[in-house]
Amino acid sequence: MEIFHISAECYPIAKVGGLADVVGALPKYQSNAGHRVRVVVPCYDTKFRKENEFECVHWGHVKLGNFNFPFNVLKETTDRLGFELYQIEIPELFDRKDVYGHQDDIERFLSFQIATLDWIIGRNEMPDVINCHDHHTGLIPFMMLYCHKYNRLQYTPSMITIHNGLYQGQFSFDKLYYVPEFDLSHVNVLEWGNCINSLAVAIKCAWAVTTVSPNYLNEINFSANGLEALFNMVRYKSKGILNGIDIEVWDPATDTALEKNYSIKNYEVGKQENKEKLCKLFNLDPTKPLFSFIGRLLEEKGGDLLPHASAVALSENYQKLNILILGSGNSMIESQLSSLLQDYKGNYNAFIGYNEELAHLIYAGADFLLMPSRVEPCGLNQMYSMRYGTIPIVRRTGGLKDTVIDFGDGGNGICHDQATVGDVCYSIQRAIKLYDDKKQLNKIRKMGMNTDHSWERVCQEYIEMYKQIIDKR
């Protein structure tokens, strides 16, 4: 089967969050399973672009209304990623460091989508399936069905995978003229909430819709930032497929970011050495349990709960725990977290920013990983932490509910129901008690390390979904 994945992010090329991890791993496992897999991402100004070899396989001009942007399709030539990588180079729009957050993001991602389809229809053969990811690629299923110049793709199945339904890529009908020519009788397909809503368009037009966990699919029928009714309507073509993790990248036995590598055979020693390294780096006490958080400091992640919850936990249990935060996002949360350092020096620290290597060291060296999320479509951190023998403390939501069961019910982590400071602190209390019960603690750590979250198992579910839509053709 020839599969195209089209995405704004892909690890290790450009990563902001879990979308990159998924698009950098799933294609690799699909290739290993014998499929021809191509991943298409924009060409940002990244280290990866500078350090790798590319050949130009196609070039053209994207017409966006009155604008004309030259583009190149660059194929990475070393093939070391385990799948074929293509980067769409549109210098004027993408030769920048940050993936998102630019005023012209609508123009950028629309041009990326048009350039990608221009290239695909110029080939002799059409792909068997096109898998789009999130709203940045949401107009592709529409353009394949309705835009005259992509007629040849009308019968090629498309699938949209939703990694986060909160972000929808809305823009005003003023920009309708950006969309390549189509019969205006279809214009209402673009509309949701009085604007063009890229994610809604994909949900309407894709032949199949997947979310990154089964429970998230259930939740978005009730809470989806305005798309609830639409999700209900397309339930017949939707499926929740739990994300896997790349067990080659995330392996404590080989991870080069660690102070000491370890496996289930020597995890106690291994984790302790990594913890000592972390504690030295951040002025913490290695004899006490270490609680960490890694992620975007936003309300959806429960980031706003962290400053208060940390202060309460550190005040009540001052001598009993360490907290280490790694993240960036909302500037108010960032400054609240930074200011805690004055009061709790020696037991608390925060690294405000993005640091891939440090994240790996924390998964290895921490004892507990906090995930107080309000919304968590799947969540990968809890799976990484379990693989590294670190116990997740999660709010029961989205994919966290699918992957973490409270140890009181014989499970692999600690769970609470409310996104409140009280619930987070109560879980921390339980964790401190658990930390003193080494037998129980080690049982849960081993349970996590033994859990199979690999893509090998999950990637077949994607293939089955593709087969179903190919059969519909």
> Which residues contact ligand ADP by CB under 6 A?
17-19, 21, 294-296, 326-328, 354-356, 359, 378-381
CA angle (274, 276, 278) in 5-degree steps: 70
Rounded distance, CA 443 to CA 434, Å? 11
**In this complex, which beta carbon is closest to ligand ADP, that of residue 207 or of residue 455?**
455
**In this complex, which beta carbon is closest to ligand ADP, that of residue 206 or of residue 394?**
394
DSSP, collapsed to helix, strand or coil, labels residue 56 as strand
DSSP 221: T
Residue 202, phi then psi, degrees to nearest 5: -65, -40
Direct distance between the N- and C-terminal alpha carbons of the chain, in angstroms, rounded to an integer:
15
Rounded distance, CA 138 to CA 143, Å? 9
CB of 448 to ligand ADP, least distance (A): 16
What letters, b where the CB count within 10 A reaches 16 and e where it falls short, cover 9-27?
Answer: bbbebbbebbbbbbbbbbb
Rounded distance, CA 444 to CA 462, Å? 30
Q: Minimal CA–CA distance to 362: which of 254, 257, 245?
A: 257
Rounded distance, CA 321 to CA 328, Å? 23
**In this complex, which beta carbon is closest to ligand ADP, that of residue 58 or of residue 296?**
296
What letters, b where the CB count within 10 A reaches 16 and e where it falls short, cover 414-435?
Answer: bbbeebbbebbbebbebbbebb
CB of 325 to ligand ADP, least distance (A): 9
Q: Minimal CA–CA distance to 389: which of 299, 238, 272, 287?
A: 272
CA angle (84, 86, 89) in 5-degree steps: 170
Stated as kind and residue range, the H or E segment containing 55 is strand 54-64
Could you tell me the maximum CA-CA distance found in the chain, to the nearest angstrom? 69
CB of 165 to ligand ADP, least distance (A): 12
DSSP, collapsed to helix, strand or coil, labels residue 387 as helix
**In this complex, which beta carbon is closest to ligand ADP, that of residue 359 or of residue 469?**
359
CB of 334 to ligand ADP, least distance (A): 11
**In this complex, which beta carbon is closest to ligand ADP, that of residue 42 or of residue 180?**
42
Q: Minimal CA–CA distance to 393: which of 360, 410, 363, 371?
A: 371
Rounded distance, CA 188 to CA 186, Å? 6
Q: Check if the beta carbon of residue 219 is closer than 8 Å to that of residue 397.
A: yes
CB of 301 to ligand ADP, least distance (A): 7
**In this complex, which beta carbon is closest to ligand ADP, that of residue 24 or of residue 127?**
24
346 Rama class: left (phi>0) / alpha (psi -120 to 50) / beta: left
The owner of tokens 């036995």 is 253
CB of 79 to ligand ADP, least distance (A): 24
**In this complex, which beta carbon is closest to ligand ADP, that of residue 9 or of residue 128?**
9
CB of 295 to ligand ADP, least distance (A): 5
CB of 404 to ligand ADP, least distance (A): 13
Which two structure tokens, joined as six digits, stand for 261? Answer: 């590598």
Residue nearest to ligand ADP (CB): 18
**In this complex, which beta carbon is closest to ligand ADP, that of residue 324 or of residue 465?**
324
**In this complex, which beta carbon is closest to ligand ADP, that of residue 225 or of residue 328?**
328
Stated as kind and residue range, the H or E segment containing 416 is strand 414-416
CB of 296 to ligand ADP, least distance (A): 5
**In this complex, which beta carbon is closest to ligand ADP, that of residue 187 or of residue 257?**
257
CB of 323 to ligand ADP, least distance (A): 15
CB of 72 to ligand ADP, least distance (A): 29
**In this complex, which beta carbon is closest to ligand ADP, that of residue 403 or of residue 427?**
403
